[in-house]
């Protein structure tokens, strides 16, 4: 008889600090450098900008508190895929997984890698040169598809990080910890320089600019803040590889979100101490302008380096966490079977990692990553809201489920997050009806695959 080999599974090798680093590292990306401009232009007042950061942080914390209960009760690979499957059935889990794999997570990885090359182009302008052009109307805006040297670099970065994650989750988690520490240290240095070198004026905190203001402006600023806080949920996707998940998953979700909230408030305190509201409203790169005001060209270059590292960590975390979603789907036989394979030596979902990164690399070359991201925002907030509501649903449908952690402030906390998600869905549908419907169309493309895989399971 042929030898029967034991099934290789994922290993629980990520400790508390690796999990916290995934939360902090994947949240803090380019938003801390870009969002203040949009926020002050929407609300007009610096005081209201700080209020928006606090409200956005608390809403994200409410989501983290809700996810903490789900993650501790179901510490499996896939995160939301698992929670939606258990609360609403396999179809909703599949819709989430399909969306993440082909659109949301791959679009996010492509966007981050491209942003990395844009910042590096400040030092090496040749990266903007066109390497090859396909003379067909398949590029952004219907023009020819141009492949730039920087896009090749972005692809190389994605594939390099795929290799890092392929050779062991402990190694990949260690890289995430180290780079997150470096990133937070650099941002802390920017904050200390902004607040401590005497180049600012506390009167700037009372400055303002003309803006729409009111409820409309506040809500638009909240959307920008939630985008900057996005990513706190990624650690739940690697729940099956976290040690002592019943304790470490809730801690990492809550501590990580609170830490980012503190970092964002401190960074904005530095920005507005040095620059009045009017200058922030005109600044595309507020941190660079602030550092340039204090240290000149050296300060501007230093922020570009900090921004590249800040982008590098969510890119690493997105690959680490995002690859577990197609793995979980394939494990349940709702995706291509090879994606469920675990490397016998490295104990990582190697095929899933390579497939996600390969597809993300193609998205980079297509130049369509921003379109994909825009299309999927509408559906993503529907799924986020449904996932948070799963806390309430599962309390009723599975009351006997072991819950090592229970959501603080239940049911008000998950309900408030669901209401905000619903508001964002309605707002997105009104503001971008075409993109929202196209996003739903992209998701609907997966339904025939679901039907096929579902029939094969019977």
429 assigned to some structural domain: yes
CB atoms inside a 10 Å sphere around CB 196: 12
Domain of 298: which CATH number?
Answer: 1.20.1740.10
Rounded mean pLDDT of 401-423? 92
| Residues 53, 221 contacting (CB under 8 angstroms) | no
Rounded Cα distance between 232 and 61, Å, is 9
Q: Which two tokens stand for residue 377?
A: 């925002």
42 assigned to some structural domain: yes
Calculate the average pLDDT of the chain: 88
Inform me whether the pLDDT recorded for 5 exceeds 60: no
The total domain count for the chain is 1
Please state, for a pLDDT cut of 70, what percent of the chain lies above it: 95
Strand partners, 130: 148
441 assigned to some structural domain: yes
Q: How far apart are the first and last CA of the chain?
A: 29
**3 state SS for 158-205:** HHHHHHHHHCCHHHHHHHHHHHHHHHHHHHHHHHHHHHHCCCCCHHHH
328 assigned to some structural domain: yes
**DSSP 8-state secondary structure symbol assigned to residue 132:** E
CB atoms inside a 10 Å sphere around CB 384: 23
Which residues constitute the domain of residue 143?
16-457
Rounded mean pLDDT of 114-128? 85
3 assigned to some structural domain: no
Rounded Cα distance between 234 and 24, Å, is 10
Enter the pTM of the model: 0.88
Tens-digit pLDDT profile for residues 379-408: 777 888 999 999 999 999 999 999 999 999
Rounded mean pLDDT of 173-183? 89
Residue 332: name the closest of 204, 456, 234 by CA. Answer: 456
2 assigned to some structural domain: no
Tens-digit pLDDT profile for residues 325-384: 999 999 999 999 999 999 999 999 999 999 999 999 998 888 766 666 666 677 777 888
Inform me whether the pLDDT recorded for 277 exceeds 60: yes
Tens-digit pLDDT profile for residues 44-97: 999 999 999 999 999 999 999 999 999 999 999 899 999 999 999 999 999 999
| Residues 446, 95 contacting (CB under 8 angstroms) | yes
Query: What distance lies between CA 245 and its chain's CA centroid?
Result: 21
22 assigned to some structural domain: yes
371 assigned to some structural domain: yes
Q: Which two tokens stand for residue 306?
A: 């900090």
Between the alpha carbon of residue 64 and those of residues 183, 221, 252, 360, the distances in Å are 22, 20, 9, 27
């Amino acid at each position: 008889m042929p030898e029967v080999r034991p099934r290789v599974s994922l290993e629980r090798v990520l400790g508390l600090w690796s999990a916290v680093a995934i939360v902090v590292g994947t949240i803090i990306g380019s938003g801390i450098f870009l969002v203040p401009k949009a926020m002050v232009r929407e609300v007009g007042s610096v005081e209201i900008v700080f209020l928006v950061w606090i409200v956005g942080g608390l809403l994200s914390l409410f989501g983290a508190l809700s996810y903490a209960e789900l993650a501790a009760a179901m510490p499996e690979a896939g995160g939301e895929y698992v929670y939606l499957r258990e609360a609403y059935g396999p179809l909703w889990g599949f819709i989430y997984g399909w969306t993440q794999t082909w659109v949301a997570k791959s679009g996010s990885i492509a966007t981050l890698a491209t942003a990395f090359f844009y910042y590096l182009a400040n030092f090496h302008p040749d990266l903007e040169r066109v390497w090859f052009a396909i003379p067909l109307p398949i590029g952004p805006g219907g023009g020819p598809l141009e492949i730039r040297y920087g896009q090749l670099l972005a692809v190389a970065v994605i594939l390099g990080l795929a290799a890092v994650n392929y050779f062991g989750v402990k190694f990949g988690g260690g890289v995430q910890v180290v780079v997150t520490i470096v990133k937070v240290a650099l941002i802390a240095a920017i904050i200390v320089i902004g607040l401590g070198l005497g180049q600012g004026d506390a009167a700037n905190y009372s400055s303002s600019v003309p803006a729409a203001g009111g409820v409309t402006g506040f809500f638009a600023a909240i959307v920008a803040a939630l985008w900057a806080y996005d990513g706190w949920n990624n650690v739940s996707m690697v729940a099956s590889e976290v040690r002592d998940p019943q304790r470490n998953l809730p801690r990492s979700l809550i501590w990580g979100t609170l830490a980012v909230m503190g970092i964002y408030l401190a960074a904005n305190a530095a920005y507005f101490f040095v620059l009045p509201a009017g200058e922030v409203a005109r600044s595309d790169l507020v941190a660079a302008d602030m550092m340039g005001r204090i240290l000149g060209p050296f300060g501007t270059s230093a922020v570009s380096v900090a921004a590249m590292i800040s982008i590098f960590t969510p890119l690493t975390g997105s690959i680490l966490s995002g690859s577990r979603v197609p793995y979980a789907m394939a494990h349940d036989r709702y995706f291509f079977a090879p994606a469920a394979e675990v490397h016998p030596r490295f104990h990582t979902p190697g095929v899933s990692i390579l497939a996600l990164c390969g597809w993300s690399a193609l998205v980079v070359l297509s130049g369509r990553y921003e379109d994909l991201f825009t299309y999927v925002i509408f559906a993503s907030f529907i799924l986020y809201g449904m996932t948070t509501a799963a806390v309430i649903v599962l309390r009723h449908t599975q009351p006997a489920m072991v819950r090592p952690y229970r959501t603080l402030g239940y049911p008000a906390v998950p309900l408030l997050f669901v209401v905000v998600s619903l508001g964002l869905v309605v707002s997105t549908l009104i503001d971008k009806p075409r993109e929202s419907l196209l996003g739903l169309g992209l998701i609907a493309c997966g339904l025939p695959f679901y039907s096929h895989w579902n029939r094969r399971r019977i």
